[in-house]
Amino acid sequence: MHNDNRRCVLLSAGGTGGHLFPAYALAEELGRRNYLVDLATDMRGDRYGTGFPARKIHQIPSATLASKSPVAMAQTVWTLSRGIGAAMGVLGEVRPSVVVGFGGYPTFPPLMAAKLRGIKTALHEQNAVLGRANRMLAARVDAVATSFERVKHLDGALTEKARFTGNPVRDVVIEAAKRPYWTPDAAEAVQLLVFGGSQGARFFSDTVPPALELLPPNLKTRLKVVQQAREEDLERVRQAYGTSGIRAEVAPFFANLPEIMANSQLVIARAGASTIAELTVVGRPSILVPLPHALDNDQLHNASQLAESGGAWCIEQAELTPQRLAGDLQNLISTPALLLEAAKAARAQGKPDAVARLADLVGELAG
């Protein structure tokens, strides 16, 4: 038992950036509001554990339903029930006022345990499609916060629990957003940022360097590329840019991605929820290439909603050849007005106050 008399909120998030970044942002805001914050996560979560702004990180067993075979299903049920048991213990120790889940199967045990213990619960859905774990939990929680005004599968009686908050972004993103967008004149350098979300994107390593190789020499000399690539692709991507005579910084991870984004004129990226949230808060134009074969096609829904607003161009991976990308880039870089309009449209979709709205909802549940 802790004798600090501040109220505690337990956040629960799986080990991917898409779930952890909004949880991180909420933890920062709740800290400012004088709440104690603990994090419950599965075993993958510890690689982000170092900097997460929580008093304590609790690792709770979890499993994703990988296949429909009876053996796999039985194993998943067994692991999740072990997780619920472990979560019951954590809740008894921590005694939170509210438990907030950020999606993915790792949020299942803490939220089910909270329900059993009569603790107030909320879910946050980052995508424009209600995820599978969230679909199973939505009927059982007290509130569902959403990042988009329209969310697929959030309908019927569930709409009464829904609260549109936006997707919270971390303080570093709010800081980066202070830099206004600017279009370079015909002689100035153009920075192009290419990244593939927390999983990295082999596709961009295969497609972007040959596309830039096709650009006319006057554009090549103006380009500065900052590209995220997997460890095993670093050398060939660097070599490709070296051969093309294009300035490039290629690395597997950029800790200061929001700052780099703010210094870029154009971004090429996947369309994960955190990527969309950061692009819109910082207000940068992007070419979005949704991850194909995603379970719920959530990235296509995310990208389409931003593209409809004029803040991005959505191109499906199957259609994005180096030739097409080269043509699109040449057109955009040669017509800065197009980039400026898209930057304005993206920023208009941004929700820099999302974290405050989500923290308000937590405060209401805490009473």
Same domain, 59 and 143: yes
pLDDT tens, residue by residue, 139-168: 999 999 999 888 999 999 999 999 999 999
In a domain, 320, yes or no: yes
42 three-class SS: coil
In a domain, 314, yes or no: yes
Same domain, 22 and 147: yes
Same domain, 51 and 16: yes
CB 96 within 8 A of CB 119: yes
Tell me which of 186 and 103 has the higher pLDDT. Answer: 103
Round to whole Å and give the CA distance between 183 and 297: 33
User: Residue 49 above 50 pLDDT?
Assistant: no
- What's the domain range around 78? 8-168+352-366
pLDDT tens, residue by residue, 298-329: 899 999 999 999 999 999 999 999 999 999 99
Tell me which of 30 and 292 has the higher pLDDT. Answer: 30
Same domain, 201 and 314: yes
Q: Which of 240, 224, 237, 230 is nearest to 196 (CA)?
A: 230
Residue 72: per-residue pLDDT: 85
Average pLDDT over residues 26-40: 96
Round to whole Å and give the CA distance between 81 and 105: 12
Helices (H), the chain: 17-32, 70-94, 108-117, 132-138, 171-176, 202-213, 217-222, 234-244, 257-262, 273-282, 298-308, 322-334, 336-348, 354-366
CATH classification at residue 15: 3.40.50.2000
Q: Amino acid identity, residue 5?
A: N
Same domain, 39 and 126: yes
Average pLDDT over residues 164-188: 93
Residue 199: per-residue pLDDT: 62
Same domain, 215 and 132: no
In a domain, 3, yes or no: no
Residue 102: per-residue pLDDT: 95
Residue 339: per-residue pLDDT: 97
Backbone angles phi, psi at 272, to 5 degrees: -65, 160
DSSP string, 291-342: PTT-TT-HHHHHHHHHHHTTSEEE--GGG--HHHHHHHHHHHHH-HHHHHHH
CB 146 within 8 A of CB 164: yes
Tell me which of 237 and 72 has the higher pLDDT. Answer: 237
Query: Does residue 34 come out as left (phi exceeding 0), alpha (psi in the -120 to 50 range) or beta?
Result: left
Same domain, 163 and 185: no
User: Residue 295 above 80 pLDDT?
Assistant: no
CB 263 within 8 A of CB 191: yes
Residue 47: per-residue pLDDT: 54
Backbone angles phi, psi at 8, to 5 degrees: -110, 140
Same domain, 130 and 263: no
Tell me which of 86 and 197 has the higher pLDDT. Answer: 86
User: Residue 46 above 80 pLDDT?
Assistant: no
Domain count, the chain: 2
Question: 50: pLDDT confidence band, cut at 50, 70 and 90?
Answer: low
CB 264 within 8 A of CB 274: no
Average model confidence (pLDDT) for the chain? 92
In a domain, 2, yes or no: no
Tell me which of 77 and 356 has the higher pLDDT. Answer: 356
pTM beyond 0.75: yes
Same domain, 150 and 208: no
CB 154 within 8 A of CB 162: yes
Same domain, 133 and 200: no
Query: Does residue 95 come out as left (phi exceeding 0), alpha (psi in the -120 to 50 range) or beta?
Result: left
User: Which one of 13-22, 81-90, 192-201, 339-348 scores highest in mean pLDDT?
Assistant: 339-348
Residue 3: per-residue pLDDT: 58
Same domain, 162 and 296: no
User: Residue 187 above 90 pLDDT?
Assistant: no
pLDDT tens, residue by residue, 52-96: 899 999 999 887 766 778 888 888 888 888 999 999 999 999 999
Same domain, 76 and 187: no
E strands, 149-214, are 162-164, 190-195
CA-to-CA dists, residue 174 to 54, 168, 322, 361, angstroms: 20, 10, 34, 20
CB 137 within 8 A of CB 123: yes
